[in-house]
Every structure is written in C-alpha cells, then in structure tokens.
Amino acid sequence: MVFPPPFLRETLPSYGYRIAQISGVNSLRELAYLFDLDLPAFLKGDPLSLEGFASYVGHSSRVLAQGSVNAESIHRLQVGPNKQNEVRCSTGSYRFCPKCVEGLETDDHRSFCLGRTEWLVDAVHVCPIHCVRLMTATPEKTGRVQADLSLLIPKMVAALTAATPPTAEPTTLERYIIGRLDGTATHGWIDNLQLDVVIHTAEVFGAMELRGQHSSWSDIGSEERRQHGAAGADVLIEGPSAIMEFLKKHIGMGARGDDYHATFGNAFSHFYARRLNVVYHPVCAILARYVGANFRFTGQEMVFGIRTMGKRPTTLRSLCEQHNVGMKITAQVLEAQYGIRAGSSTVVDPQLIDEIAPQLKGLMNSRDAARDLGVGVELLKGLVDAELLVPDFRFNDRMLGFKRDTLDAFKMEWCEGVEREAGIRFSSKTPIYVASCAYGIRVPQLLIAIREHGIDLYRGGATRELRHMKIRNMDLWEMMRSINAG
C-alpha cells in the first residue's frame, strides 16, 4: 500500500489519523496499538517511535518530526524538533482552517489536512494557504494537544456547516511564525529568540505604539492583540537598531531625575517579571542599553536584571574614576596641553578624556610622587634632572608623571638596603640634607658622589624615605677631601 506524504506543517495526530483511516482502523490509538507504539512518546517525536512509524508509511522520520509537539508545559508547546519554537497554546479549544478540512465530509483522507502546527499557536488567526480565518471546535475534555482527533471530527463538521469564515490576509507576525515553523525564517537577530518571546515582545511593543505605554491593557481582546503583534513584529524583524529608534520615539529620552519605571508605564512589568528568564535576556539587554544611554539614575545599577552604567558622566571626577586615572594629573594636562582649567565638578568633553586617559593611566603628578618619596617637589625635579629617577610620562619640564612601580623601585634602590644606625653614635653621622647645605652641593650630586665612592648610607628611623638617609661624618670628610683635591 502506498501512503501519501504528510502535508507541510501537518501535525503527527493529523497525519497518524489519516494513515489509520487509509489502513482500515478507526483511530490513531488503534494504529499505535497494532504497531506497539507508545502513543504519548510518538506524538512528542520519540526517535524510536518515529522510525517504526516511518518504516511503515515509507517516508523519512525527519519529515515526520516536523509535526511533533512537545507539551511538557501546561500553557506552552514546543512545535517541531527546534527547541526555540516554544509557543503559547490554547488549552480549551481546537482551531482549524475550513478550506484545509474540506474533505472531511467526503472522507477523502488523502487530500485533506486535519491539523497543522500553526493552528496550535494562539497568535495565528489566519490560514496562510487559503487566507481565511480559523474556526474553533471545543472538545469534550480540554487538553493541550488532541491525541485522537477522531473525537473532534463531528464538532469540526458541525462548525463547517454553521458559518462561513471571512477571508483575511496573514499579518507580519503570522507570516514570521509560519516561516519559523517551516525553517525558512532569515531575519537575523530575531531568529535567535524563542518564538514565544518574539510573540509576546511584539504584542507589548505594538500595544505601546497603538495604545501608549500608560494606557490600561486589561481590556485587550484577541483581535486587538493580533493588531498589536502585527505592529510590533515590524519593529522586531528590523533588529536592535530599529528597536532603539522605536523606544526613542515612544518612550522618550528621560528627563533629569526621571524614573524609567514610570516612563515605561505598563510595559515595564512585562519585562521586569521575566528579567531572570534566560530566553528574555536578549530583549532585556536592548532595553537596558536604551535606558542606560538615555536616563540618569538615583543610585540604580540593575536595569531589567542587567548591569548598566546609565547616562555617561561628564564631570572631571567621574570621568577620571571611569578611566581609573588620577584627577590631579589629568587636570594639569588639560591646563598645560589644552588650556582648560578644570576642577573636580567641571563638565569636560568625554572624548577629550578618552584621548589622554591611556597615557595617564596609573600615573601620579610630581607633587603626589614627592609626597610618596618623602621629599620636596624641587628635590624630586633635581633627581629627575640628574637621571636618578626617570619619569614615566613627560609632557614638558613642569608636567611629569610617575607610576607606583617606578617610585617603589627608586625606594628599593636607595632606601631599602640601607643599614640601620644601630651601634653608631648619633653625633657620628649627618643627614644628607644637612650635608648638602653645609658643603653647598645639591642632594642629587651628593648621592651620585656617595655611589661613586662606595660609601654606605644609614637610616635613622623605620620609614624608608630619602630624607631620613644619613652618612657617617668620617666618610663625608674623606669624600669631600677627595672631591676638592680632584
């Protein structure tokens, strides 16, 4: 016996019922019993069950899997093998196209389709093949998926004779849903979202556009929700940039001190309640990026569950904290290089700080570096002139920058290995500052002479600072006699 292939997007209950009728049995349950198939597992696309059924009908199990439905959630279905195609379903009624089931009365089981996957999706209201509105049949017992469609046939025939459905064109959202179920959707960013997220987000965006974000949404009916989904799908299909423009138009920029909770209106709760759901993360990320770029916060850091910086700060202090650079040295560079006198609260062009921040990262100015070494600024500049201390940044003679590692290396070289003055009388040595003044020689030249003559230094306290370094009087006299004789 030659069996017909399944129709495009035909569900397994529909195809299984047709094969049962052609085979001479009354229902899919009887066919499953004859083939020893686990019917619930078969309807969910179990590979072993599909292989056994495919060998009987003579078609590929991969084609049959396109019509499988995984109904693990009460209110959602996974349609087909793709886990991203999880959608909200109707639990109390069954919808169908009157044109697709025209052969019910003539029992032409080869030509009519009893069920398609898109009919199970709440957001689809029109048959894309015949462009007519779907009709509804209510079963005796409500269920997520009708495992045995033979029980529904009398109600479907009664609905066909009761009224003629109007013609209608599928909306943008309905065409996209069908393309996702066909595996032909090529819209980039939106294709990576779960189908249920696409539908819900499109309906929320459409309600923002057609009703306004502050309107009440409690009285939205099925037909109006369809219009909302169509309007929102046009934005989602174009991608993140179109979403940002849409939010800019309908949400606004956010005044100073404005709360984005109130600005988003009723749309806020829809995404905030789902912020921890992984499948909503791409949508929440775009919303958080928009809020962060256009709103100023009052200490808030998490927007729709995602960390954001908010509107970029423009004061010198905040920009320096953002780039992790010293505010004092940045202010000096701005004055010396650009002629800008800026304090901590002065508004500065962020791009200007972006340009100079890389070379100033982790640097201290001359005053802070001198304080760290325990010397004066003039002595610090003398050490630089004598090349005993090499700065990490030099803009001009006045503008010097030092890294912490450079200062620590200088301390290690001149102060770390110096012996304590234990065992030597206090009067037998002289601080290098005093020796410098007494002999009229600058401290850097004195240090160079001490190193050339191999003379030891001593420190009089626990601190490792240059001002606490001392030299023995005997060594000082011999060094100065040698210098004068030379």
For residue 114, the cross-strand partners are: none
pLDDT digits (tens, 9 = 90+) for 163-222: 888 899 999 999 999 999 988 877 889 999 999 999 999 999 999 999 988 888 878 888
pLDDT digits (tens, 9 = 90+) for 68-79: 888 777 678 889
What's the CA gap between 3 and 54, in Å, rounded?
11
| Predicted confidence (pLDDT) at residue 434 exceeds the cutoff of 60 | yes
More confident residue, 156 or 441: 156
- The pLDDT value recorded for residue 283 is 94
Radius of gyration, alpha carbons of the chain: 40
Q: What is the pTM of this model?
A: 0.64
Average pLDDT over residues 130-139: 90
- The pLDDT value recorded for residue 298 is 46
pLDDT digits (tens, 9 = 90+) for 343-367: 887 888 888 888 888 888 878 888 8
What's the CA gap between 439 and 27, in Å, rounded?
115
Least confident of 20-29, 39-48, 302-311: 302-311
Torsional sign, CA 346, 348, 353, 354: positive
- The pLDDT value recorded for residue 296 is 67
Helix, coil or strand: residue 454: coil
- The pLDDT value recorded for residue 205 is 94
| Predicted confidence (pLDDT) at residue 152 exceeds the cutoff of 80 | yes
pLDDT class for 399, splitting at 50, 70, 90? confident
Q: What is the mean pLDDT of the chain?
A: 83
DSSP 148: -
- The pLDDT value recorded for residue 311 is 59
- Tokens standing for 348? 């500065």
